[in-house]
């Protein structure tokens, strides 16, 4: 039997349920509108005076933050064009650890300017070509705008100076507290080879941990050389010094068989001796651990009551670390290898710690593993630092933790390129001024897109001015006038509005990381270009079982 071939074109081209949008009106402008809505959501959260957003995710967890990376991660955006923007900002987060909001705002403004050009009759292809030329020119100009460089080797003072603007953008007013904390923690974990090297490429973000303890205020936060765990040891031994450490990824308990069986006991003597053999075996294994010189045992799994009894009797400190990632960090700090079987560790498998003590912070009992700067165990251990954060509310502590992560990532960015550019919107104003001039010299229709690219860059200082209550148009015009009159472009937005809304970023010591700005310009422009290149949206019917409808034969009476 011959199959019926559907007619070409129209609704018969795709399976039932497909939707298709094409053309300038249905595809391009709709996508631009969706991206603009997403960009407007996070735009008001930009800068030191940015507003917080309250996000309630699908699990009911509440996030109160101005961090754009957290906002877009928890919002679960479903529009396909807006997702392109989300992917670009996530890539910026993975590459630099900061600057996600910059990507969102700039990409949204580029598309808003493109919408104006489309309404004037320009084709999206001409806009794309102009944006690509403007992006390449902006990256060339950006390299010439560097006004400072992180000292090598870096000092705590120079690190704190470079970190202050990054931290102030999330925790304005607390940057003078957080910047020295992060600088101190980073200084502790910087490899010693960095003192003779011009770069810090061996610096690892994972070597700086954050532990949040409720109570007190942010000013009571401090840095500990080593690791801090928010729980006390399992046994009665609470401290040890100059100790050999054994780390186990298995539980410390009598082993259980995988099969079930039935045991028939005839008298009390058999009941007494029933588990005695396993107890003797466990005691022998733990005694071997003690005889090897181990003073501290760390395990990821549970600790049985009988094993705990023997370990207390042997004077061994027992700590439980449920997190696999924390256990891996602790092994790096101690120079230990996690063991999957109970027994005495080999000399190369054991770790060493200068001191492990239990102390009380704000009513919480915590365990501190501390490695001094000069180790005594004969091994070279990687350096780790823990920032103990104090605060009144969980949302405030969570936001401070995200701020510290951005600060540590800013240091990681500076290890790739130590150059700094003017902050507070000064770099964007100078880029906008020079790119508009570049567009005036460019022949053809591309010049319109190039000039709109320059105008789009003004959204950064404009947003900074709006969020702190200034007249944005007045501030931007003053910035243009001062940049045109000066040879050195360092005038930015004064969020404290000390005089006329503008300030010298060199005098105020407000700098941005050049390499983070470089990648943000790339990702924002590429996201906008990807959206403009789409001329048709074809959506299939979502998979899933259709919910049963109402029975039409149901009698209401």
End-to-end CA distance of the chain: 50
Q: Which pLDDT score is estimated for 26?
A: 65
Which of 351, 381, 411 is a domain's end point?
381
Looking at the fold, whether 339 and 249 belong to one and the same domain comes out as: yes
279 in any annotated domain:
yes
Reference 357, options 347, 348, 366, 344; nearest CA is 366
502 in any annotated domain:
yes
Q: Which pLDDT score is estimated for 195?
A: 46
Looking at the fold, whether 476 and 357 belong to one and the same domain comes out as: no
Task: Work out the average pLDDT over 426-431.
Answer: 86
Looking at the fold, whether 348 and 435 belong to one and the same domain comes out as: no
pLDDT at 65 over 70: yes
| Domain harbouring 343, CATH code | 3.50.7.10
Q: Which pLDDT score is estimated for 298?
A: 85
Q: Which pLDDT score is estimated for 196?
A: 42
Average pLDDT, the chain: 78
320 in any annotated domain:
yes
Alpha helices in 315-445 (DSSP H): 324-334, 394-416, 426-441
Reference 247, options 347, 327, 354; nearest CA is 327
Task: Work out the average pLDDT over 270-293.
Answer: 75
pLDDT at 209 over 60: yes
Q: Which of 240-254, 283-297, 365-379, 477-491 has the lowest mean pLDDT?
A: 365-379
Which of 381, 411, 435 is a domain's end point?
381
Q: Which pLDDT score is estimated for 117?
A: 85
At 111-125, the pLDDT tens digits run: 888 888 888 888 888
pLDDT at 417 over 50: yes
Looking at the fold, whether 439 and 495 belong to one and the same domain comes out as: yes
Q: Which pLDDT score is estimated for 116?
A: 85
Looking at the fold, whether 246 and 330 belong to one and the same domain comes out as: yes
- Split at pLDDT 50, 70, 90, the class of 215 is confident
Looking at the fold, whether 370 and 232 belong to one and the same domain comes out as: yes
Q: Which pLDDT score is estimated for 96?
A: 79
Q: Which pLDDT score is estimated for 540?
A: 67
Q: Which of 2-16, 289-303, 440-454 has the lowest mean pLDDT?
A: 2-16
Angle at 88 between CA 71 and CA 69, to 5 degrees: 20
pLDDT at 269 over 50: yes
Q: What percent of the chain has pLDDT over 90?
A: 0
148 or 210, greater pLDDT: 210
pLDDT at 396 over 60: yes
Looking at the fold, whether 498 and 438 belong to one and the same domain comes out as: yes
Task: Work out the average pLDDT over 274-279.
Answer: 70
Expressed as residue numbers, the domain containing 26 is 18-148+422-540
pLDDT at 101 over 70: yes
160 in any annotated domain:
no
Q: Which pLDDT score is estimated for 5?
A: 57
Listed in sequence order, the residues at least 6 apart from 274 whose beta carbon sits closer than 8 Å to its beta carbon are 263, 265
Residue pair 367/219 in contact (Cβ under 8 Å)? The answer is no
- Tell me if residue 507 falls in helix, strand or coil: helix
Largest CA distance in the chain: 103
| Domain harbouring 459, CATH code | 1.10.560.10
Listed in sequence order, the residues at least 6 apart from 390 whose beta carbon sits closer than 8 Å to its beta carbon are 213, 214, 215, 216, 217, 218, 220, 221, 361, 362
- Split at pLDDT 50, 70, 90, the class of 256 is low
Looking at the fold, whether 360 and 437 belong to one and the same domain comes out as: no
Give the count of domains, the chain: 2
137: its two tokens: 């020119």
Q: Which of 61-65, 336-340, 529-533, 539-543 has the lowest mean pLDDT?
A: 539-543
Q: Which pLDDT score is estimated for 312?
A: 81
């Amino acid at each position: 039997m011959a199959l019926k071939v559907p007619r070409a074109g129209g609704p018969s081209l795709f399976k039932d349920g497909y939707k298709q949008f094409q053309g300038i009106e249905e595809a391009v402008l709709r996508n631009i509108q969706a991206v603009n809505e997403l960009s407007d959501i996070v735009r008001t959260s930009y800068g030191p005076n940015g507003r917080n957003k309250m996000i309630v995710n699908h699990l009911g967890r509440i996030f109160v933050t101005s961090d754009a990376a957290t906002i877009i991660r928890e919002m679960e955006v479903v529009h396909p064009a807006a997702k392109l923007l989300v992917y670009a900002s996530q890539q910026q987060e993975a590459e630099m650890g900061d600057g996600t909001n910059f990507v969102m705002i700039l990409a949204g403004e580029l598309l808003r300017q493109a919408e104006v050009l489309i309404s004037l009759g320009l084709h999206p292809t001409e806009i794309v070509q102009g944006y690509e030329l403007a992006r390449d020119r902006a990256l060339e100009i950006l390299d010439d705008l560097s006004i400072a460089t992180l000292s090598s080797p870096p000092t705590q003072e120079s690190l704190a100076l470079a970190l202050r603007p990054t931290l102030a953008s999330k925790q304005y007013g607390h940057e003078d507290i957080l910047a020295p904390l992060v600088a101190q923690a980073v200084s502790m974990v910087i490899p010693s080879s960095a003192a003779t090297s011009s770069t810090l490429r061996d610096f690892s973000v994972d070597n700086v941990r954050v532990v949040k303890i409720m109570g007190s205020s942010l000013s009571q936060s401090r840095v500990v050389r080593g690791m801090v765990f928010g729980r006390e040891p399992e046994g009665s031994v609470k401290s040890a010094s100059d100790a050999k450490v054994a780390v186990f990824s298995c539980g410390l308990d009598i082993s259980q068989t995988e099969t079930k069986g039935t045991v028939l006991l005839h008298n009390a003597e058999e009941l007494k001796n029933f588990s005695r053999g396993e107890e003797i075996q466990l005691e022998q294994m733990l005694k071997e651990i003690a005889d090897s010189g181990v003073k501290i045992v760390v395990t990821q799994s549970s600790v049985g009551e009988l094993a705990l009894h023997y370990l207390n009797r042997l004077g061994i400190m027992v700590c439980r670390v449920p997190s696999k990632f924390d256990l891996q960090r602790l092994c790096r700090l101690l120079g230990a290898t996690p063991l999957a079987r109970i027994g005495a560790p080999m000399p190369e498998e054991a770790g060493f710690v200068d001191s492990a003590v239990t102390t009380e912070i704000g009513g919480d009992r915590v365990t501190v593993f501390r490695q001094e700067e000069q180790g005594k165990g004969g091994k070279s251990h990687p350096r780790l630092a823990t920032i103990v954060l104090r605060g009144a509310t969980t949302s405030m502590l969570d936001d401070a933790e995200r701020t510290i992560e951005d600060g540590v990532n800013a240091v990681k960015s500076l290890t790739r390129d130590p150059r700094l550019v003017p902050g507070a919107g000064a770099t964007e104003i100078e880029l906008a001024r020079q790119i508009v001039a570049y567009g005036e010299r460019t022949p053809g229709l591309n010049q319109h897109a190039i000039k709109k690219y320059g105008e789009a860059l003004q959204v950064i200082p404009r947003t900074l001015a709006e969020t702190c209550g200034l007249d944005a148009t007045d501030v931007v015009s003053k910035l243009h006038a001062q940049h045109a009159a000066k040879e050195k472009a360092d005038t930015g937005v004064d969020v404290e509005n000390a005089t006329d809304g503008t300030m010298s970023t060199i005098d105020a010591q407000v700098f941005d990381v050049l390499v983070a700005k470089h990648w943000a310009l790339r990702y924002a422009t590429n996201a906008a270009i990807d959206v403009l290149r789409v001329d048709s949206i074809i959506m299939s019917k979502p998979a899933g079982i259709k919910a049963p409808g109402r029975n039409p034969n149901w009698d209401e009476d």
